Structure 1
Amino acid sequence: MPGAEQLAIAWRWLGWELAAIGRGVRSAVRESGPERDTMVQSLKAAAAAILAWALTGWWLQAPLALMAPWTALVLVNATVYRSLHSGVQQFAVIVAGALWASAAMAITGGSTLLAMLIAIPVTVLVGTYRRFGTQGIYGATTALFVITYGAYSLTEVGHRLLETLIGGVIGVTVNALVLPPVHLRNVRDQLQRLSRESADLLDTMAEGLRGEWSESDAAGWHDRARRLDQVLRGLADARQWTHESSRFNPGSRLRRSVPPPPLEADAVWERTVGHLTAITRVLGGTAGEKARLTAPGTEFLTRYADLAAQSARLCEADRDLMQQPRSTKEERDRQNRAWKEAWAVYDALAADFRRQTGPAAEVSGGLLVETKLMLSGLTPQEMYEGDTTSTA
């Protein structure tokens, strides 16, 4: 039944989502990295908002104390520089929004609806100005606060701006002085995450292909491969944050750091993720009662599972190379061994593939082509080694 099928799909999606959340939580608890950084920044943002409310709402008894914690919350940003930059942008649009909304209320004699008709379209349009960046929308929301609260005298508007300023100062100060974010290691962390999650996915596929696997299993593998795109986006963000991290950041002077791996590493893993996604897509096409592709025989899939497992060992060796700025000879030798063993398994499987015929051979060939391209991209090289000169 269509309803039951949709429910099963939704249930599988929920399971994948919960599994992804669980992996993220375990990473945050067990090791330093982007997940833990996100957790720290979230707790800092909450603390800044509570502190801003305590100062303006509880101690100063401000009439609309919401402005202070709201501003503090959004200004605990990925870098100190970004907090300062966003703070200036946000204060500018809030001043503009508050003044224009007050003028609209004065013109309309305090009519909420007429003031909205005058103020909101203009503030939304002004908020799209590229110099305001993502902070532009706060001009319109501030206008809404002023109009719906009904306070539009110069004194009351001055209170709104003071509360905003207090919240901004608290947000930026908390971000700069409490575990200030230094992202100089984040590029390496994201690359490690790519290799670790790729290895886990390949191992899971290998285990499944050796036994009974279903359409649901294949869909789960494909979902995990597609989620690696999110890590690639995180890697791109980390590159940008690395550039910003040391600007106006007291924490950058307290931590010894080394330059991140060069950009070539990003390109390698972008291609690797693409090949993994293609492999899981092909396997998904062979599964289920309505399979679009003819599945290879059990013998081929069992041997391909060995290739997937050996590819996972290569990804793990690649991960170990990124754990330290300068790898050891033992780690490089391990990567070389894993690479040679993966190619040996591939060559043996490719030689047997030449005897295959029929529609299943097309699928087997597709899997081998994508795997060959993936292994070629993971050729041992010292792309993850940075200059050991300190930038502290």
Structure 2
Amino acid sequence: MREVRGALAEVRGAWETAGAQFVKWRREPVVVQSVRSAAAATIAYVVAVRLSPEPAPLTAPLTALLVVQVTLYATLTTGIRRVNSVLAGVIIAIGFSVLVGLTWWSLALLILASLAVGHLVRVSEFVPEVAISAMLVLGVTRVGDTAWARVLETLIGAVVGLGCNLLFAPPVWVGAAGESIEDLARRVRQLLLRMGEEAAGRTPVAHATARLHEARRLDHDIVEVDAALKQAEDSLRLNPRVREGLLHRVVLRTGLDTLEICTVVLRVLARSLTDLAKAREPEPLFEAQTGAAVEQLLSEVADAVVSFAVLVTTDVSVSAESAESRLAAELTTAAATRDKLAGLLLEEVQRDARQWQLHGAVLTEVNRILDELDTEHRSRRLLEELDRCTREQRESWPRITRLRRRLHVPRQLRRKRNRRPAS
């Protein structure tokens, strides 16, 4: 009986593991993109077989494959550019077929003209598609029929690709971007803890140099988080399921900017500790009491970095308030430890002033990280970024801005505004 129960428990655990893995795969951008693209391409081919005069209308699935993206915003923009590129190539091919036909020199002129027109119509990455469409249409005998068939297949692929994203709404990738930001904060925390432990004792130059290399590798992590954040920003645009998409984008973007500044300062801090290790070898970096204060301060700063990341990626207002309170308390504690460390460093410099520049640099760099994490500084940064984004939207779309104002302002209030100038 026990063996049966054990076997059932193992099976249940295997099913739970498989279910968790399946949920993880569903959230993977590569899996979502592959399934969505394959389905859209297949549907586009089935529709094109019935509507297109061509025996093998492969342009439709090719267009759907290129149009369908992970986010709705990318799908819309890609579909428009794709259709424009094909139409431009078809028009150029029709003109060349009427005037000169297909020869080696007309093919060269056709390619040059297509690439030039592609840049003029601003189809971005689909500039080669203009030349490809023109060559395929010019190389057949019945130019007119093939040209319109290619246009029809392109429209079918674009419509099917757009319909797939409208019917099966793409996910909002804010959660994935938030996880990337929190992972980056945890890596920063681990590095700060290791630096603090080594600063409290006798640190070999090789260890300090290794910490410097780790701080430099954080730049690659910033690039990966930035890519995830760009995908999240695209998923928030033109998404009917999202309210206050601009606010979400600004909160995440400013949070990543702050962490990026902290990583830069952390790299400078690691360089200062490395120079201090070279200058004081084989002695400890600091005296015993001062080293303990440095370790405590870096530990408190590490906790504040993680709390800041949690605050940035938290949506619920209650959780955000608790995260902000925790961050404020940790920053207050770290500021007190910083003041204590400043006094200890002053006493140490008065006794031995050989490395006073490096001691002052360590204190200054930690202070910069605390200033970047400060809640008031973040509030000002958010307001400035929101004002800038709102101003750019008003300048880019003045008519839409005026329409929104009219729709959001109540009728009675509009009547009062209209009466005031008359009075």
With normalisation by structure 2, the TM-score equals 0.65
Mapping of residues 1-392 of structure 1, within 5 Å: 36-37=28-29, 39-53=31-45, 56=48, 62-63=54-55, 65-77=57-69, 79-104=71-96, 107-111=99-103, 113-129=104-120, 131-146=122-137, 150=140, 153-182=143-172, 186=174, 190=177, 193-207=180-194, 210-211=197-198, 213=207, 215-232=209-226, 235=229, 238-239=232-233, 242-246=236-240, 252=241, 260-261=247-248, 263=250, 266-267=253-254, 269-284=256-271, 294=278, 297-299=284-286, 304-321=294-311, 322-328=313-319, 330-354=322-346, 355-356=348-349, 360-380=355-375, 383=379
1:3-37 Cα deviation digits (max 9, x unpaired): xxxxxxxxxxxxxxxxxxxxxxxxx97998x9745
Task: Kindly state the Cα deviation for residue 94 of structure 1 after the two structures are TM-superposed.
Answer: 0.6
Task: Kindly state the Cα deviation for residue 369 of structure 1 after the two structures are TM-superposed.
Answer: 2.0
Alpha carbons of structure 1 residues 268 and 320: separation in structure 2 relative to 1, 3 Å: closer
Task: Kindly state the Cα deviation for residue 199 of structure 1 after the two structures are TM-superposed.
Answer: 3.0
RCO higher in structure (CA 8 A, sep ≥6): 1
1:211-266 Cα deviation digits (max 9, x unpaired): 573645532331224532553465466456534223xxxxx2xx788873584774
Alpha carbons of structure 1 residues 122 and 228: separation in structure 2 relative to 1, 3 Å: same
**Letter of the 2:166 counterpart:** A
Q: Any gaps of 5 or more consecutive residues in structure 2? A: 1-19, 199-203, 383-423
Task: Kindly state the Cα deviation for residue 73 of structure 1 after the two structures are TM-superposed.
Answer: 2.0
Structure exhibiting the larger radius of gyration computed from Cα positions: 2
What percent of counterpart residues are identical?
19
Count of aligned residue pairs for this structure pair: 344
**Letter of the 2:213 counterpart:** A
1:60-104 Cα deviation digits (max 9, x unpaired): 794564422321122123543542343233212211212323543
Alpha carbons of structure 1 residues 368 and 262: separation in structure 2 relative to 1, 3 Å: farther
> For residues 145 and 277 of structure 1, what CA distance do their matches in structure 2 show?
51
Alpha carbons of structure 1 residues 95 and 204: separation in structure 2 relative to 1, 3 Å: same
Alpha carbons of structure 1 residues 302 and 54: separation in structure 2 relative to 1, 3 Å: farther
Q: Any gaps of 5 or more consecutive residues in structure 1? A: 1-27, 247-251, 385-392
Alpha carbons of structure 1 residues 163 and 378: separation in structure 2 relative to 1, 3 Å: same
Decide whether the 8 Å contact of 2:180 with 2:228 is kept in 1: no
> For residues 22 and 46 of structure 2, what CA distance do their matches in structure 1 show?
33
Task: Kindly state the Cα deviation for residue 279 of structure 1 after the two structures are TM-superposed.
Answer: 2.1
Q: Which moved more, 1:134-143 or 1:271-280?
A: 134-143
The structure with more helix, counted as a fraction of residues: 2
> For residues 339 and 255 of structure 2, what CA distance do their matches in structure 1 show?
22
Task: Kindly state the Cα deviation for residue 363 of structure 1 after the two structures are TM-superposed.
Answer: 3.7
CA RMSD, Structure 1 to Structure 2 (Å) = 4.3
